[in-house]
Amino acid sequence: MALAVSAIAVGPAAPAHASICSAVGFHGGDVGSTGSSGSGEIGLGSADFGSYRANGKKPQGPLARLRGASTAVAWVTGPRSRNRTDQRFSITATDVGVPWDNGSGQVLMAFGDTWGRCAGQMVWRHNTLLRSDADANLDKGITFPDAIPGSVRSGASVTPQHPTFAQPMLNAIGVRNIEVGKIPTGGIAINGVQYMSYMSIRRWLSPGRWATGYSAIAVSRDNGQTWVTDNRTIRMNADVTVPGVRQIAAGHGRFQMGAFLRSGDYVYQYGTPSGRFGAAFVARVRPADILDLSRYQYYRGGGTWSAEPAAAAPIVRQPVSEMSVAYNTFLKRFVMLTEQVGSVMMRTAPTPVGPWSGPKVIVPAAQTKGLYAPYIHPRATGQQLYFVASRWDDYNVMLIRTDLAKVR
């Protein structure tokens, strides 16, 4: 058992490559990539610089003009954003932007593959994090304070040498077919400690499809300034079980992307397989046991739970993409957002496990192409549902508001 566990340990290690700007380790130059467009394979042993090809994207375009129940409020990232993240945090292009309440007056936002300038060149990071004011007026957009070296409450984690370069949260090996990136999928605060689920991308495939090696939870005890993966939370993406090794169990492949919801006595973790074409599943755990896989229970349907991940039954049939779930006081129901073929879809349920309604389109793909990764803002609890979504063509994150009175 010790050999098996050590083989999948991914905790702190000396970086294999030095970096000009990143204190965490290796980053890439502006070399482009086959990336998540799936345009080819460059083989084992070759470096992979993320899902965004820096010189293959359009410049950031105008904010989407949506019609109907939804309105695009503001860009969150990029040169066109009020935040000017390109200048203040060296974030010219990025995606995902998972938001969660840190429990002390801020909303943390974890981004995926990120490009921006540092030391005179365009560089790429596996992920980044920014901090915003939890009490801000969302009708004016999401804003971030300036970054201050050493300050765990400032806009980003930066170094004195590069005070406008938001540091990556976690490094990755950066080799195709082993690990090309670590992408955040969910976040939650428990008793002042930050927990972030992420997926380790093994390789990008065709559009909307990728292969993960594992998922895991990283922990920060300094408000997102530094992160460490807890190896006990690793879920290997292999449909086998090794007795006595919780990290290797059949069914873990159903939880390669994980969104958190705290409700009642439990933290619920919603899982999907890697890519955007699988079903959705759910597990629950007591907040104090979030790092102990042996304490998780998996929903089997019919109000029953199991200790085995392979027993998890779908709560929403495929295809399900990146998701977020929150309780809404206006609807008096739980709300789930996902994306399908560029449209943002909403489902509702009376309980965290369902039964979930059929999907309603709240942002049609025809109104703005390439939206994905819709994540509910943690302060969006009433009639106006605020969420962030990424747009593929110009590879940045926007804030959207939906009037639920017009869609229920």
DSSP assignment, residue 179?
B
Report the C-alpha gap between 47 and 91 in whole angstroms: 22
> Is residue 39 pLDDT above 80, yes or no?
no
CA dihedral 186, 29, 225, 212 (to 10 degrees): 30
> Is residue 16 pLDDT above 90, yes or no?
no
Sign of the CA dihedral with 175 first, then 176, 178, and 184 last: positive
Average pLDDT of span 76-82: 97
- pTM of this structure: 0.91
CB 213 within 8 A of CB 248: no
Full 3-state SS string of 30-44? CCCCCHHHCCCCCCC
Residues facing residue 262 across a β-bridge:
267
In percent, how much of the chain has pLDDT > 70?
A: 87
Sign of the CA dihedral with 199 first, then 201, 96, and 48 last: positive
Instruction: Provide the pLDDT for residue 52.
Output: 58
Tokens standing for 369?
């192409």
Tokens standing for 106?
């801020």
Instruction: Provide the pLDDT for residue 179.
Output: 94
Where in 39-180 does DSSP place strands (E)? Answer: 70-75, 98-101, 106-111, 114-118, 121-125, 128-133
Where in 205-328 does DSSP place strands (E)? Answer: 210-220, 228-229, 235-236, 257-263, 266-272, 278-285, 297-301, 304-306, 316-320, 324-328
Q: Place 26 in a pLDDT band, splitting at 50, 70 and 90.
A: low
CB 240 within 8 A of CB 248: yes
Helix (H, G, I), strand (E, B) or coil at 140: helix
Could you tell me which CATH class the domain 2-406 is placed in?
mainly beta
Span of 18-27, 154-163, 245-254 with lowest mean pLDDT: 18-27
Q: What is the pLDDT of residues 250-286, one digit of tens each?
A: 999 999 999 999 999 999 999 999 999 999 999 999 9
N- to C-terminal Cα distance for the chain?
A: 51
Q: What is the pLDDT of residues 345-357, one digit of tens each?
A: 999 999 999 999 9
Where in 112-164 does DSSP place strands (E)? Answer: 114-118, 121-125, 128-133
Q: What is the pLDDT of residues 110-127, one digit of tens each?
A: 999 999 999 888 888 999
- Closest to 145 in 3D by CA, of 192, 94, 107: 107
Instruction: Provide the pLDDT for residue 291.
Output: 98
Report the C-alpha gap between 347 and 408 in whole angstroms: 10
Report the C-alpha gap between 400 and 55 in whole angstroms: 27
CA dihedral 244, 250, 253, 255 (to 10 degrees): -60
Sign of the CA dihedral with 191 first, then 197, 389, and 86 last: positive
Q: Place 56 in a pLDDT band, splitting at 50, 70 and 90.
A: low
> Is residue 93 pLDDT above 70, yes or no?
yes
Average pLDDT of span 312-336: 97
Average pLDDT of span 51-61: 69
| Antiparallel, parallel or unpaired: β 106-111 and 128-133 | antiparallel
Q: What is the pLDDT of residues 213-250, one digit of tens each?
A: 999 999 999 999 999 999 999 999 999 999 999 999 99
Helix (H, G, I), strand (E, B) or coil at 240: coil
Helix (H) or strand (E) holding 12: none
> Is residue 37 pLDDT above 70, yes or no?
no
- Closest to 85 in 3D by CA, of 48, 111, 103: 111
Backbone angles phi, psi at 32, to 5 degrees: 75, 180
Q: Is the peptide bond before 319 cis (omega within 30 degrees of 0)?
A: yes
Instruction: Provide the pLDDT for residue 120.
Output: 86
CB 145 within 8 A of CB 407: no
Instruction: Provide the pLDDT for residue 31.
Output: 34
Report the C-alpha gap between 7 and 63 in whole angstroms: 46
> Is residue 314 pLDDT above 90, yes or no?
yes
Mean pLDDT taken over the chain: 89
In percent, how much of the chain has pLDDT > 90?
A: 81
